[in-house]
Amino acid sequence: MALEPENSNDDKPPQHANTVTGEEFAAVDVEAPIRASHKVDCWSLGNLYRTAASEQGQNDKSAATRVFGLLSDILNIQFKPEDRSEPYGPWFVMDGRRGLIPADLRGDQSAVICGLVPTIQNSGLRARLADIVWINDRSLAVMASHAIDAYCESVQLVLDNEAQFFNADRTPSGHDGRKMLHRACQIANATGWKDPQASRLKALLCAVIQDALQRRDHQGFLNAADIALQYATEDPARIAANAETFAASADLRPHWSHDLWNLAARAHAALHNQEDRDRCLVSAAESHVTIADAAGGEGIVAAGAIMDAIYELRHLPNTRNRRRELEEKLRRAQASVRDEMGVISTQFDLTDYIEHARERVSGVSLPQALGQFADLTASPDPDELREQARRLADENPLSSIMPTAMLDEDGKVVAKSPGMHPDGTESDIALHHLIARHENLRRQAAVPGLIEPARRLIWSQQSLHPHHLHLIAAMTPFVPVDRAHVVTTGFSRLFGGDFVSALHILVPQLEHSLRHILKQAGVEPSAILSDMTQGSRTLSVMLDKERAPLEEVLGPDLVFEIENLFDFRGGPAIRHRVAHGLLSAAECNSTDSIYACWFIFRLFCLPLFPHWDEVAKRMDQL
């Protein structure tokens, strides 16, 4: 997960009144809480230290409490080596507070930890401590060596079946092993690949790749081979050959084959072999066609897969004839999109919001929790909203007939409602403003009652990683293949509580996805401009000009909520405000903004709901 907001005054770090001294560490059996454990991942070790600290008593300020508490905080720092510029971040950001980051330990505390590192037996703990010290002081080359050695030892122990990662994971190339190998390579690269650590790391990566191949673990092979290719620790020709053989396996799912063909293409590119690179990329594109055929060649899943294939082939030479064949195939798939989708809706009892949210996402697997999170509430029926607004107008006639104005933070009028006519004659714009007012109240209940409790539980209880969210972004037909990484980043920021980033990433992608949806339905969302150039339609224009096909694909409920939430000036108008930089940091963390991020996650999950078992199977493979 990505959680890296700036260390500003708005995000206060944990309060550690005084440095935990070397004398306090010496007075405690530091590894007592973890000595009986076979775990080497930081999350498991951090939980053990947290339990040990709490057993000392909340008011106990003994050396053991302070030592175990500090180690728990250090182990729970978010580990994200995929972010080269900032591989560590706070494990939570909430209500103006955040978790610990390495910079909070600079100075005396880091110096104390530096002296502790050589004495630590558990390789997972030793790797974390050495890495933190080295980040805080890059001149301490010995700490870099300790970190690389400890990361290698942790993965080797799992490879030899002598240790485990989180959830009893014994896969050296799985989630935790991949991150450790990636981080070890980062440190080795930054320090010049000095032996003996460099040789050990390269040999270990080779062994992990072979282990994944022997176990027919496609994801493990992708994880390890990607690192080896990125840091040139393995012969690209060998990676390409293994990836091609694996990708061509008859028993492999086409989604997995696609990733393996792309890996093979990258390996050939590293060898400057353009012909083989293009051949593998064509095979990767054809994997999308296999997905479309498996879906029956009709409907939004098939249309989305064929569009992805056309997009990938468009960049490759000598594929024009194949693209024409696929364009005809796409038109046949598009013809059934509207019939397939219909109206998407769900219902549940709204009493006791928070308890309901907790019940939905607690004690279930990660795929189940994500599915339940996306299905916490549904877009209201537009006709019901209009009828509700009319009832409110009847019950409060004085307030409903009075004109109102919406002001921004500078006091400028950004929208006006004329109010309902005193004679009872209905005004569409006034009714729309009443609906927007009621929807604001609904969101104020849904976010603190449903969305935030569920998000925080998932974040605290599940081992959520961008790979899991990327799977959703890659599988949903609402996201073009070239936008999956961008959407994944937005989802990661959403679950991490960084709503400033999530909002500014996801809202523009929503608009692009609506254009993508229209193309899947056979509608071209563009217009010829006065200078005879072709421009993509904005959200407002699509809601005006292409509303009918959007409603046929998504249903009127979703389209009406998109309008009310993102476009209508009498509502939050989030699309306009994000596009023009009108949101302050506080407003990015408001109820409307959080709901908007969640709504986009839900929207992209909706077409996957009928296939969620497949999503779960693939997520369990990560």
User: What's the pTM?
Assistant: 0.69
How is 285-341 classified by DSSP, letter by letter? HHHHHHHHHHTTT-HHHHHHHHHHHHHHHTTSTT-HHHHHHHHHHHHHHHTTHHHHH
Residues facing residue 12 across a β-bridge: 97
Q: How many whole angstroms separate alpha carbon 286 and alpha carbon 75? A: 43
Q: Give pLDDT, residue 313.
A: 95
| SS3 readout for 17-76 | CCCCCHHHHHCCCCCHHHCCCCECCHHHHHHHHHHHHHHCCCCCCCHHHHHHHHHHHHHC
CA 152-154-155 angle, to 5 degrees, is 70
Give the tokens for residue 244.
């091609």
- Residues 6 or more apart whose Cβ sits within 8 Å of residue 314: 323
- Classified as helix, coil or strand, 523 is coil
Per-residue confidence (pLDDT) for residue 60, from 0 to 100: 65
The Cα–Cα gap between 498 and 484 comes to 19
pLDDT tens per residue across span 252-283? 989 899 999 999 999 999 999 999 999 999 99
Q: How far apart, in whole angstroms, are the C-alpha atoms of residue 140 and residue 150? A: 16
- Specify the DSSP element, H or E, that contains 534: strand 534-536
Q: Which two tokens stand for residue 388?
A: 């509700």
Which pLDDT does position 526 carry in this prediction?
65
Q: Would you call 169 helix, strand, or coil by DSSP?
A: strand
Q: How far apart are CA 29 and CA 71, in angstroms?
A: 13
Q: From the CA atom positions of the chain, what is the Rg in Å?
A: 27
What is the structure's pLDDT at 422? 43
Strand, helix or coil for residue 215: coil
Name the token pair of 495. 């679950």
The total number of residues written for the chain in this structure: 622
User: What integer pLDDT is reported at residue 343 of this predicted model?
Assistant: 46
| Phi-psi sector, 92: left (phi>0), alpha (psi -120 to 50), beta | beta
Determine how β-strand 413-417 pairs with β-strand 534-536: unpaired
Omega prior to 196 cis, within 30 of 0: yes
Residues in the chain, pLDDT under 50 = 1-10, 342-351, 398-403, 405-416, 420-426, 528-534
Element (H, E) at 98: strand 97-98
Specify the pLDDT at position 337: 66
Question: CA 622 to CA 620: how far, in whole Å?
Answer: 6
What secondary structure letter does DSSP report for 16? -
Q: What are residue 576's phi and psi, to 5 degrees?
A: -65, -45
Contact 121, 36 (CB under 8 A): no
> Is-contact 77 88, C-beta < 8 A?
yes
